[in-house]
């Protein structure tokens, strides 16, 4: 705790903007996460899930309702279909359990159907192919996975509108709704597939497409206080920004917490790929806006601006996404005081998520409780959800590797 206090004092002296954070976190006996224990926990929960779900099927687990202990299953066309194979790949990378590898391969291969020309797809192709095939290629170096991932990037790139400069989200939406070209904040996450493809034998122009999407989003989809609009609406004729609205937040001017987490993660990744300091300075502002509004246990409410009523739900998925992003940002940051602060916030977030309050434990075979999917639409409220689990295990594995790098430097 002494080291943590020194970091905060340094930040205050330097006048860094995080001095305005209103967090009142009560330090635990040990803010360090026992990452090995938590990864073992994830492995055991995965084995429980594999025992419960139907074998030899391409149905994948998506969510578990509040009062249930059974997974709601989805087919490969669901936007979340890449997260379950991605979870399995991270678990295999950590455990080298061949049974887990077999299941990761099987579920990943199920997603080849997304390349069927009859399936139109949309921006979620990034989530679907990156979490599954790119992770598979990264871990196994099997060129087969690379080939399929590149084909997924080709399909994703087809939704880029050069007049607007962004990738279309929700291609199925009827334009009569007044959304001629919409881009949701979630779409920042899908740029990873395009950047990856441009570096790995795909169309090099995908780098330009990804960077264009990031820049147009940065210039239009945020308020002066650096909170995000969930949805940006653009004119398809002249490419101009029309308005910002919400689909999953409290209202059009509120800050949906997972959207802010998507933005932090997405722009961290854009800075990693471009090394343009403009994106680094921007993501610092996005992080400041998130932390100013964060509750004292480091797990945000579903929407930062929703009325403070007792039943206002938390969203562990936003916390897990942000924890993973801040771990990476702490290593990319050129301001050492901020880097230390981001690391501390990520560590405390993981410590909170790994507590009895937020872990499923014996209640359910998922990793985490208290995620919020789509409250305005009335589903997956206070649930366990596969993308919360995916970013949780990703964050844990990043934390493990980065702690190893820190120890190596000290030695």
Q: Which two tokens stand for residue 61?
A: 């687990």
Which residue in 186, 297, 303, 382 is the catalytic one?
Answer: 186
56 catalytic? Reply is: no
Cα distance from N-terminal residue to C-terminal residue, the chain? 22
φ, ψ for residue 367, nearest 5 deg: -90, -50
**349 Cα distance to chain centroid:** 14
Which residue in 124, 303, 315, 389 is the catalytic one?
Answer: 124
Number of alpha carbons in the 13 Å side-chain half-sphere of residue 170: 17
Q: Which two tokens stand for residue 238?
A: 């002249």
124 catalytic? Reply is: yes
For residue 209, give every residue at least 6 positions away whose Cβ sits within 8 Å of its Cβ, in sequence order, or none: 157, 160, 167, 194
CB 371 within 8 A of CB 380: yes
| Helix ranges (DSSP H) in 221-355 | 257-274, 277-292, 316-332, 336-353
Residue with tokens 């005081």: 337
Question: Rg (Cα) of the chain, in Å, rounded?
Answer: 20
Catalytic residues: 124, 186
């Amino acid at each position: 705790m002494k080291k943590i206090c020194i970091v905060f004092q340094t930040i205050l002296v330097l006048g860094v903007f995080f001095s305005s954070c209103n967090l009142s976190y009560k330090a635990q006996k040990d803010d360090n996460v026992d990452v090995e224990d938590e990864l073992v926990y994830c492995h055991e929960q995965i084995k429980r899930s594999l025992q419960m779900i139907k074998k030899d099927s391409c149905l994948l687990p998506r969510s578990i309702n509040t009062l249930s202990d059974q997974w709601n299953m989805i087919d490969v066309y669901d936007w979340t279909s890449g997260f379950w194979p991605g979870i399995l790949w991270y678990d295999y990378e950590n455990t080298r359990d061949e049974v887990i590898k077999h299941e990761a391969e099987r579920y990943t291969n199920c997603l080849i159907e997304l390349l069927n020309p009859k399936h139109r797809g949309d921006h979620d192709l990034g989530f679907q192919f990156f979490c599954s095939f790119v992770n598979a290629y990264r871990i196994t170096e099997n060129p087969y996975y690379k080939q399929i991932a590149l084909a997924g990037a080709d399909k994703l790139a087809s939704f880029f509108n050069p007049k607007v400069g962004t990738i279309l989200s929700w291609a199925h939406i009827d334009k009569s709704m007044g959304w001629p070209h919409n881009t949701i904040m979630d779409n920042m996450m899908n740029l990873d597939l395009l950047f990856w493809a441009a570096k790995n034998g795909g169309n090099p122009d995908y780098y330009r497409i990804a960077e264009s999407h990031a820049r147009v989003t940065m210039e239009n989809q945020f308020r002066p206080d650096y909170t995000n609009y969930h949805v940006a609406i653009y004119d398809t004729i002249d490419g101009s920004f029309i308005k910002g609205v919400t689909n999953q937040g409290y209202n059009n001017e509120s800050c949906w917490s997972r959207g802010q987490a998507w933005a932090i993660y997405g722009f961290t990744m854009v800075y990693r790929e471009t090394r343009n300091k403009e994106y680094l300075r921007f993501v610092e502002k996005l992080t400041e806006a998130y932390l100013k509004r964060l509750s004292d246990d480091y797990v945000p409410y579903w929407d930062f601006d929703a009325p403070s009523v007792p039943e206002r739900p938390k969203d562990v998925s936003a916390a897990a996404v942000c924890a993973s992003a801040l771990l990476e940002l702490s290593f990319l940051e050129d301001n050492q005081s901020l880097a230390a602060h981001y690391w501390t916030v990520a560590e405390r977030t993981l410590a909170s998520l790994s507590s009895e309050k937020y872990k499923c434990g014996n209640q359910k075979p998922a990793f985490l409780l208290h995620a919020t999917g789509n409250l305005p639409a009335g589903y997956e409220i206070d649930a366990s959800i596969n993308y919360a689990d995916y970013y949780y295990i990703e964050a844990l594995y990043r934390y493990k590797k980065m702690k190893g790098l820190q120890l190596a430097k000290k030695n």
